[in-house]
Amino acid sequence: MSITAPPDTPARARAANRPRTRHWQRLLSEADLNQTNISATRKVLRNHLAAADRLQKRRAQLSHRRHIRNLTDPTSEWTARRSALVALANTTDPEIIRLIAPCLGTQLNDLRSMLVVAASECIIRVADKLLLEESIALFKDALRASHATKKVLHDARRDAALAIAACQTDQHFWQSLVEQLNNPHPVPRTILLHACTSLVKNASDQQENHLNVAKDTTLQILQRATTDRIAQVRDAAKTLFQAYATRFGTEQAKTLLEQLDKSAQTRLNSVLQTDRKKPDKPQRISMKEQILKAKREALRKQRQAAVPTDPFDCAQSVLLNQIASNDQENLENHA
């Protein structure tokens, strides 16, 4: 059975020849509506994008807090702490510093060291003006606690301070840290000198501000560190001056030396001229043995010189010693 098309009728022919006015009118009305509401549509899209951005930030913040909670919870397993530390160290969100700061008051030194490392890694990754104050606060906190008895916390804060110093080239950052040379503990002063050495070594020729900050900071620190009463700090100052001479040349190093005070010049020259190498442990032991042997030999010769060689003198000495011993016994018995 075949299917045939319906026969053409006069009504169907008129409908085929009639223009589709209703369809075009509907399309034109929709276009006018879209044109008039385009600003509203853009506003709706902006609101949706802003809401999505807020949601993403909220999720990231909750994730950061979960990682911090895993770090600071004493009942957390080591694998959870380690994964949380890696997640915090790999983030590029500046807000992580503001979340970490209140948690540094925990009593667990290893967790505090983890938080310090995570914060320093975040500062190094972001490295912008927004984190300048946070960098200064963390660096000062690292210097204040660098004389702690817990070695894990000491090493973590020292490494964090040196890492932050390598990436910070702001003049205000270094000016605020020069006052740390007044710290009564020698370890923070030494770490500050090592940080300045790292700044000098990483000075870039493409950034004139970086070079100027390195030169000014080195001058201010050497002015006070070369006359320090601790030999460890003076050795760090010598290392800083040598790094400066290697980076900027001998002529600029001489110019820097001339800008120092007379006392600082004299002390730095004496330190550079001596340049004594500390002996290793076997050498120190052999040196001590030689010194003790010489002392024993001198004491033996002194005792031999005190003993009389003449027989009459020997008998007289023995008799006098016996009389003195008897007198002492009589005094004790009468008492």
> Cα–Cα distance between 255 and 19 in angstroms, integer?
93
240/272 Cα distance (integer angstroms): 11
Q: Cβ atoms within 10 A of the Cβ of 234, count? A: 20
Q: Could you tell me the CATH superfamily of domain 183-275?
A: Leucine-rich Repeat Variant (1.25.10.10)
Can you tell me the distance from the alpha carbon of 289 to that of 219, in angstroms, rounded to the nearest whole number? 44
Query: 3-state DSSP helix/strand/coil percent for the chain, to nearest 5?
Result: 80, 0, 20
Rounded Cα distance, 89 and 97, in Å: 11
Query: What whole-number distance in Å separates Cα of residue 99 and Cα of residue 58?
Result: 13
Instruction: Look at residue 5 in the predicted model and tell me its pLDDT.
Output: 45
Lowest-pLDDT range, 211-215, 297-301, 303-307, 309-313?
Answer: 309-313
Which residue has tokens 């807090």?
Answer: 65
Q: Is 254 helix (H, G, I), strand (E, B) or coil?
A: helix
User: Which is more confidently placed, 120 or 188?
Assistant: 188
Domain boundaries, the chain: 57-168, 183-275
**pLDDT, tens digit (0-9, with 9 covering 90-100), for 111-130:** 556 666 666 655 555 554 44
The answer to whether the beta carbons of residues 143 and 191 sit under 8 Å apart is yes
Across the chain, mean pLDDT equals: 68
DSSP sequence for 167-187: H---HHHHHTTGGGGG-SSHH
* Alpha carbons within 13 A on the beta-carbon side of 153: 19
pLDDT of residue 28: 56
For the residues 129-138, what does the mean pLDDT come to? 60
Instruction: Kindly report, residue by residue over 290-308, the tens digit of the pLDDT.
Output: 888 888 888 888 877 766 6
Give the pLDDT of residue 278. 59
Q: How far apart are CA 109 and CA 148, in angstroms?
A: 10
Q: What is the pLDDT of residue 247?
A: 84
- Non-local (6+) Cβ contacts of 118 within 8 A are 85, 88, 89, 96, 100
Q: What is residue 73's predicted lDDT score, i.e. its pLDDT?
A: 65
Supply φ then ψ for residue 80, to 5 degrees. Answer: -65, -40
Percent of the chain at pLDDT above 70?
44
Task: Estimate to the nearest angstrom the gap between the alpha carbon of 180 and the chain centroid.
Answer: 14
pLDDT tens-place string over residues 48-104? 677 777 777 777 666 766 766 666 666 666 566 666 666 665 665 655 655 555 555
Tens-place pLDDT, residues 270-287: 777 765 555 566 766 777
pLDDT tens-place string over residues 230-249: 888 888 888 888 888 888 88
Residue 3: per-residue pLDDT: 42
233: helix, coil or strand? helix
pLDDT of residue 2: 44
What's residue 287's pLDDT? Answer: 75
Question: What pLDDT sits at residue 84?
Answer: 66
Check if the beta carbon of residue 171 is closer than 8 Å to that of residue 130.
no
Structure tokens of 290? 């030689």
Burial zone of 167 (CB within 10 Å; 0-12 exposed, 13-18 middle, 19+ buried) = middle
pLDDT of amino acid 243: 86
Q: Which helix (H) or strand (E) holds 160?
A: helix 151-167
Residue 266's pLDDT is what?
78
The pTM (predicted TM-score) of the whole model is 0.48
Residue 252, pLDDT > 70, answer: yes
Average pLDDT over residues 11-30: 55
Residue 69 and residue 73: Cα distance in Å, rounded? 6
d(CA 120, CA 255): 35
What's the pLDDT score for residue 218?
83
> How many residues does the structure list for the chain?
335
Strands (E), the chain: none
